[in-house]
Structure 1
């Protein structure tokens, strides 16, 4: 089936049908998005996919609503929004359309579902209160997308539709970026595991480029690693701390206190290392102009950290 129409409701829009539209319009770019509550449109048919409207959930009829009684639930009892339903049925095809490697699709699908789709589902259903973000509640992605609605006393009869399509462009960009980041994380895992093996029992992990490394380090049980070296470009190397946990900012060891907040010649004098360029006052990252300098800084940081009992 190749639908001619992607049908969702008219009126105010929310993140769930925007994200559903992003998925479906990628898979069916020739289909026209129709926003309506007219029964003639929201009734399932062979030429359409209906979502976030229609009063039912029937994947075989391409109907994906969640507002009705006995609305569908996830296996753990948490509610779906239309985005979760569309992601469940079309997400893997969407990932393939974005050129995610076939071997990674299952994992990326699950990661995006847990970290991106589910929060939108919960917020849309009132199962997660926006107040959990406190004063930043309006800065959540659903909140930001809703700020793109036209204000009540401006715009004409097409204002809501125009605003919807403007918001859809932004929603699409966020979803594609989240997918790209999840897929990149899998690519990084293999490179980080190779670097952990190369480090052996050393205390410093050296990576060939900037990449997400914390999940692999923790999963590998490489608790002996204290610092990570990464090149950022010609004449620019960094030395950073490694967090204790998968989430949070507490480090296994800080950079030397004598380096905190220093730059250039002042840092070179304090460290005794030519080419030392910068150390953040928070002692979680430092920089140098050469690999030799950053390696020397790492060695000095390890000596001080071990003396402090790390």
Structure 2
């Protein structure tokens, strides 16, 4: 069936129907986006997808509302918003439209649902405070940021809400697509990290061909013996620690205390490594001019941990 109309409610908007529109307008670019509460528009019909309005949830009939009682719930009992309902039905097709590899579709769909969609669902339903919704939504929340794009209360233009919604749509799309690119990149990185771990054997230092997210790959491989990671960084090389968790700065091991905050000649003198350039005062990253220099620093850092 050809989708000819995408229908959501008129008036002020929220993150859930705005983000739903991101998904649907990508998948059905020729469909007309209609914002209305008219009964004739919000009733199921051929060629029509209705969301965040209509008082029903029936995916086969193309209607995805969550305001009715009983409201649609996830398997674990947490509530859906229209965004969660649309993502559950169309998210995999959206990922294919963004050229996510087929073998990664399931994993990216699940991780994006957990980290991005679910917090939107919970906040839209008043089921969680923004401060509890996860790192993506701490402080200024994404829903709050998107709602700042709504017109001011005394805008005299009767089309102000529709104009604001249209202007907000590409901004919301940029957030969604950037988050999905990051999720897909994490999976690509895990493959590279796994290969590097195999090549490293029982070495305490992991060498990667470029900077990338590596902690998840290290944990997935069960490589508990690793202490540090090295990789090229522009024309230099970097030596970094491995954090023990997603939301902490605690590392498996810190760089030597004697290096903290030093640069250039001072760091060369403290480390004994020619070409050492910088060590952060927090002792989680150091930089050197060459691979040989950074590998020397890595070995010294391992020895420092062993001696401590």
TM-score of the aligned structures, taking structure 2 as reference length: 0.96
Q: 1:7 maps to which residue?
A: 7
Q: Alpha carbons of 1:172 and 1:217: their partners in 2 closer, same or farther (altered >3 Å)? A: same
Distance 2:180 2:24 in 1: 15
Distance 1:88 1:254 in 2: 42
Give SS of 1:42's match.
coil
Q: Deviations over 1:278-303 (max 9, x none)?
A: 11000000111111111111011111
Q: 2:199 maps to which residue?
A: 198
Give SS of 1:231's match.
strand
Distance 1:307 1:162 in 2: 65
Distance 1:242 1:195 in 2: 15
Q: 1:266 maps to which residue?
A: 266
* Structure 1: runs of 5+ lacking an equivalent: none
Judge conservation of contact 1:264–1:276 (CA < 8 Å) in 2.
Answer: yes
**How far 1:211 sits from its partner (Å)?**
1.1
Q: 2:108 maps to which residue?
A: 108
Judge conservation of contact 2:243–2:251 (CA < 8 Å) in 1.
Answer: yes
Q: How many residues align?
A: 306
Q: How does 1:54-133 map to 2 (within 5 A)?
A: 54-132=54-132
Q: 1:26 maps to which residue?
A: 26
Tell me if 1:214 matches 2:220. no
**How far 1:36 sits from its partner (Å)?**
0.9
Distance 1:3 1:245 in 2: 44
Q: Alpha carbons of 1:112 and 1:226: their partners in 2 closer, same or farther (altered >3 Å)? A: same
Judge conservation of contact 1:21–1:168 (CA < 8 Å) in 2.
Answer: yes
**How far 1:246 sits from its partner (Å)?**
4.4
Q: 2:163 maps to which residue?
A: 162
Distance 1:28 1:2 in 2: 9
Q: 1:179 maps to which residue?
A: 180
Judge conservation of contact 1:79–1:125 (CA < 8 Å) in 2.
Answer: yes
Judge conservation of contact 2:267–2:278 (CA < 8 Å) in 1.
Answer: yes
Distance 2:168 2:157 in 1: 17
Judge conservation of contact 1:55–1:68 (CA < 8 Å) in 2.
Answer: yes
The 4+ residue runs of structure 1 with deviation greater than 4 A are none
Q: Bigger CA drift: 149-158 or 203-212?
A: 149-158
Q: Deviations over 1:45-84 (max 9, x none)?
A: 1121000001100111100000001111000000000000
Judge conservation of contact 2:44–2:61 (CA < 8 Å) in 1.
Answer: yes
Give SS of 2:152's match.
coil
Give SS of 2:41's match.
helix
**How far 1:132 sits from its partner (Å)?**
3.6
Q: 1:151 maps to which residue?
A: 152
Give SS of 1:39's match.
coil
- Over aligned residues, Cα RMSD in angstroms? 1.5
TM-score of the aligned structures, taking structure 1 as reference length: 0.95
Q: Deviations over 1:80-103 (max 9, x none)?
A: 000000011111111111111111
Q: Bigger CA drift: 147-156 or 14-23?
A: 147-156
